[in-house]
Structure 1
């Protein structure tokens, strides 16, 4: 009988006795034996979260079943319990691609534009349905864009200057740059705001949708091609190829249905504070930790990182 091996990572404000006992029960349920343990982060010294990593072995591991059970535990324990099927090799720099709206920033920019234009409720409802995967992204995107026709360009500048960064985004990008990773924004949002974020955080490259602006007004149209789910996955693969990287050396982080193909294509695909459908389909998911939690999923120790 073939022996399998997985990595189980737990991120929590505190690694409590209850979490420990539930993890032990999970291991027992699936016949998993711990062969290595390390504490990657200690909240009392790092200032963010406790993080422990276990290497587990077992016979004929049903990884999908373990992941589903871990996701249920995550919801009940106020912790992120993450299962990775393939053991990492030595940590080496690669490519990390991010969605922008509700991932690197806390807001959906198109909803904020709509609010300023007096059509906020209508557009926000369509955005929510699209992110849950209930609507075709391109069709819903064009519908939402049409409602922005006539919006003053000055509103874009005002919103860009106030983009609310997601918790942990600055620490994550700072460390990825220092460690030699290439970073990219692959967004179904707008280049206008992605460029602003690129300058703020030092992102290497951006790929998003180009608003058409004429005589200082948004026309309600965007230039082709629209960055949808397929385009995000294609871009991730193309950038990796250009940089001489394998897909195993890529990481993708996103929150919506529009990110699922990118998450599936990457060597590690992390659903971040995502919709339930996205969390269920992604191989990895974090909802309690900030974005810096991705660094611990990559195997880094707090001593490897700058604050």
Structure 2
């Protein structure tokens, strides 16, 4: 089935139905779901066959010619035991934490240069992380307290996390960032599980190195599979949400993988993503 998310003040189910009928040469009966998002509505087309990625991309482009509308394809709604797994930086929050730390340290340009090297394929994730963290040497550990309260949740994230808690869904956040930030986020939003990197320290100063298991794309996927086994949750009831290429394996291991304001490196390899809607539209995934 196809789920269409439109702004509440700019939704036109009749026009949507007509557009789908014209495209697929069959009647498209649209059902408006009960409202769960403050700003976005959800219309469902219970189409018989799953559409290939190429068709979904074309359909999305055609619909977006008229209004800011998102669509995702699912095989069934979520029910019973559910697990949501998220990336952190640029997914749940607007910022990239390592960039913000670099600004504090006055080394943003240096860290950005390393990031650019990694994106161009000259450094792998582990090398880039270690190289960027080196620039954070001698920052006070207290910087995490100061920084956390300057981070901004993405649109609809608090509402989504509150809604998931009410539905007794399990939640997890797997981040290539730092555990000091994740632990604070876990406490604020009652997240069940977090995975992130540990910046070494002596006394009240950071050493500029990372120790322990580095949370990369493989660890994100493996963490999802670990929680699936531990909580005994069926794959079709697992949702994974991320924005970058290092989230792709996690999304592929889930039943419903969704890019949220995703970068092109991820979009080119997935079928479902959200460009415009707030993240609380994911509450429409429940039966």
Under a length normalisation based on structure 1, what TM-score does the superposition of the two structures give? 0.84
Q: Which of 131-140 and 248-257 deviates more?
A: 131-140
Contact 2:5 2:281 in 1 (8 A): no
Deviation at 1:128, TM superposition (A): 6.3
Indicate the residue corresponding to 1:97 in structure 2: 85
Distance 1:74 1:122 in 2: 41
Measured at CA, do residues 132 and 41 of structure 1 come closer, stay the same or move farther in structure 2, by a change above 3 Å?
A: farther
**In structure 2, how many angstroms separate the alpha carbons of the residues matched to 1:51 and 1:133?**
39
Question: Whole-Å Cα distance in 2 between the matches of residues 82 and 134 of structure 1?
Answer: 35
Separation in structure 2 between the aligned mates of residue 166 and residue 8 of structure 1, nearest angstrom: 21
Deviation at 1:24, TM superposition (A): 3.4
Show the counterpart of 2:217. 229
Q: 1:192 to 1:79 in 2, by over 3 A?
A: same
Unaligned runs of 5+ in 2: none
| 1:11 aligned partner | 6
- Written as runs of structure 1 = structure 2, the 5 A alignment for 1:242-281 is 242-281=230-269
SS at match of 1:86: coil
Tell me how far apart the structure 1 counterparts of residues 122 and 62 of structure 2 sit (CA, whole Å). 27
1:74 shift after superposition: 5.9
In the superposition, relative to structure 1, how do residues 76 and 226 fare at CA in structure 2: closer, same or farther (>3 Å)?
farther
Say if 1:135 and 1:15 are closer, same or farther in 2 by CA, change over 3 A: farther
Deviates more, 1:139-148 or 1:250-259: 139-148
Give a deviation string over 1:104-138, Cα, whole Å, max 9, x none: 11111100000111111232354467579885322
Distance (Å, rounded) in 2 between the aligned partners of 1:20 and 1:136: 49
Cα gap change, 1:214/1:197 in structure 2, threshold over 3 Å: closer, same or farther?
Answer: same
Check conservation: 1:251, 1:268, Cα contact below 8 A.
yes
Gaps of 5+ in 1: 1-5, 301-307
Residue 227 of structure 1 aligns to a residue in which SS? coil
CA offsets per residue over residues 164-204 of structure 1, 9 Å max, x none? 22221111111111101010111111110000001111111
- Relative distance call for 1:289 and 1:31 in structure 2 (3 A) is same
Which residue number corresponds to residue 58 of structure 2?
Answer: 69
Equivalent residue, structure 2, for 1:136: 124
Q: Secondary structure at the match of 1:34?
A: coil
- Matched with 1:38 is 32
2:194 pairs with one of 200, 206, 218: 206
Secondary structure at 2:177's aligned position in 1? strand
* 1:262, distance to aligned residue in structure 2 (A): 0.5
- Specify the SS of the correspondent of 1:166: coil
Cα distance, 1:34–1:47 mapped onto 2, change above 3 Å: same
Post-superposition CA distance 1:44-101 (Å, at most 9, x none)? xx6312221221235xx5421221113324654442432315233x622311011111
CA contact (8 A) 1:103 1:254 kept: yes
| TM-score, normalised with respect to structure 2 | 0.89
CA 1:256–1:128: 2 relative to 1, 3 Å: farther
Contact 2:5 2:69 in 1 (8 A): yes
For 1:71 and 1:134, the matched residues in 2 are separated by 34
Distance 1:132 1:280, change over 3 A: farther
In structure 2, distance between residues paired with 1:131 and 1:185:
23
CA contact (8 A) 2:161 2:189 kept: yes
Question: Number of paired residues?
Answer: 287
Aligned match for 1:52, one of 38, 43, 48? 43
Cα shift readout 1:195-239 (whole Å, capped 9, x = no counterpart): 000111111111111111113211111112100001100100110
CA distance in 2, matches of 1:104, 1:132: 25
